[in-house]
Structure 1
Amino acid sequence: MAEIYVYADETGDLDMSGSVGASTYFGFGTAVFKGDHGHRLWEGLQLRCRLERRGVSLPQGLHAKNDSHTTRGEVFELIESQAPRIDTTFLLKGNAYERIREAGPMRLYKLAWYLHFKEIVRRVSSPGDTVYVIAASLTTNKKEGSARDALKDVCQQLATDREIVLCVWNAQTSWGVQVADYSLWAVQRILEGRKCSWYDTCITPTLETTFTPWGRAR
């Protein structure tokens, strides 16, 4: 029996109206570390401290969307050296089923998590294993409680022959969640036809899946 640590983050907003400014996709990404990976977490803390020493203020931790090009380069280099398993799932909101639109934003959130996690948990663990899911808390405070319930329900559904322990934490408290954030950011840029200079060297070597069940934007 093994212990597996699945760090999860979400990307995009839950707006399915097609309004200007809404994200093209909503999705989840995970970075998986098996067994004792304390040294990797320590490396993430060391990097954050070195950046602060150089004058880079990171009170909310690392976040690919907001970090500078230089900071991103250092983070991606560390992700490359650590080589966690990376998986992503993106739902093209423009192709959302009508029943999902009618059910509302949290239905989209829960479905994205279910479609992602039901495959990943089987691929990274075996019956009898303990899977720790460290998920970033939803950035919209109004929906945070509902999001936690959605994550919990999916984890309970899939915990038939293995133990799944859900931890919903602020992203800045966990290097693993920040790895998931950076990985999502890179994959999303490629899906949207934008450039990411670190994608080929730092992400693709351990990117196992990019699942787009509702298709891809043209």
Structure 2
Amino acid sequence: MARRFLFSDESGDLTFTKGPNISRYFAVGTLVIDEPELRKLRATLAALRDELAFRNHGLDSYFHATDDPYDVRQAVFGVLSSLDFQFDVTLLEKSKAQPHVRQDDATFFRYAWYYHLNWIAPRIFDPNDEALIVAAELGTKKTRKAFRGAIDAVLTQCISYRVKRSLAFWPCASDFALQAADYCTWAVTRKRERGDHTYFDMIQSKIRYEYDLWAAGKTHYY
């Protein structure tokens, strides 16, 4: 029996039209790590935050890839490249989603999580493992309730009943592992959305599974 930790992040919006500042993809990314490595990740990123603060960087926020300046990003990705974890990501090109898949945000969210976990869960968790699944808190209280229900349903479908699991929603600012998941998901989606491989290349060795769910699809619904 082992304790396994899965920290998740989503990237992209749930707006199903084309326009400026609207993402092409929605992505679910998960960082999988064991307990000793998790302690090291937290300690290492905490030390980096302190060092950056002494150099007058990152004084007003937590690590967040979208908002962080270049020097902070470089430092964080440099640290992540040295740590021991696995990262998996599933991408959904939103314009290829059939209308019933995107009838509401919770439905689309559930589809994204299902196709992601259906592949990775059997490869992560063994019977009798203890699993803590931590999702980044997002949206309003009503939205979080719907998303929690969606993830709960997917966990029941995709993870063996013999795995003892707990689901938590924590603010991204509260845990360095969530911030690491944010960074990894951002690097993959930046490569997809902008063709910028800079940061992806720094953590490519950590990425086990990058799956474009509807890559073979030809029909766009908007």
Same fold (TM over 0.5): yes
Q: Is the 8 A contact 2:25 2:193 kept in 1?
A: no
* Alignment correspondent of 1:191: 192
What is the one-letter code of the residue matched to 1:160? Y
Counterpart check, 1:61 vs 2:59: no
Question: Shift of the alpha carbon at 1:216?
Answer: 7.9
CA distance in 2, matches of 1:85, 1:180: 10
The correspondence of residues 163-178 of structure 1 with structure 2, limited to 5 A, is 163-178=164-179
What is the one-letter code of the residue matched to 2:123? R
Q: Is the 8 A contact 2:31 2:87 kept in 1?
A: yes
What is the one-letter code of the residue matched to 1:51? L
Q: Is the 8 A contact 2:27 2:189 kept in 1?
A: no
Question: Shift of the alpha carbon at 1:194?
Answer: 2.3
What is the one-letter code of the residue matched to 2:105? P
Q: TM-score under structure 1 normalisation?
A: 0.91
| Larger CA deviation: 48-57 vs 3-12 | 48-57
**For residues 143 and 207 of structure 1, do their structure 2 counterparts lie closer, same or farther at Cα, with a shift above 3 Å needed?**
same
* Alignment correspondent of 1:153: 153
Cα deviation code 1:174-206 (max 9, x no counterpart): 111111111111111221242132322x21112
| Larger CA deviation: 23-32 vs 150-159 | 150-159
Q: TM-score under structure 2 normalisation?
A: 0.89
Cα deviation code 1:17-72 (max 9, x no counterpart): 33443211111101111232312211111112222222224544111110011100
**For residues 93 and 75 of structure 1, do their structure 2 counterparts lie closer, same or farther at Cα, with a shift above 3 Å needed?**
same
CA distance in 2, matches of 1:36, 1:189: 30
The DSSP-based 3-state class of the residue aligned with 2:101 is helix
Structure 1 residue ranges, 4+ long, deviating more than 3 angstroms after superposition: 57-60, 139-142
What is the one-letter code of the residue matched to 1:215? A
Q: Is the 8 A contact 2:49 2:58 kept in 1?
A: no
The correspondence of residues 87-166 of structure 1 with structure 2, limited to 5 A, is 87-101=88-102, 103-140=103-140, 143-157=143-157, 158-166=159-167
Q: Is the 8 A contact 1:137 1:148 kept in 2?
A: no
Counterpart check, 1:52 vs 2:53: yes
CA distance in 2, matches of 1:179, 1:51: 16
* Alignment correspondent of 1:3: 3
Q: Which sections of structure 2, spanning at least 5 residues, go unmatched?
A: none
Q: Is the 8 A contact 2:113 2:151 kept in 1?
A: yes
CA distance in 2, matches of 1:23, 1:141: 24
The DSSP-based 3-state class of the residue aligned with 2:115 is helix
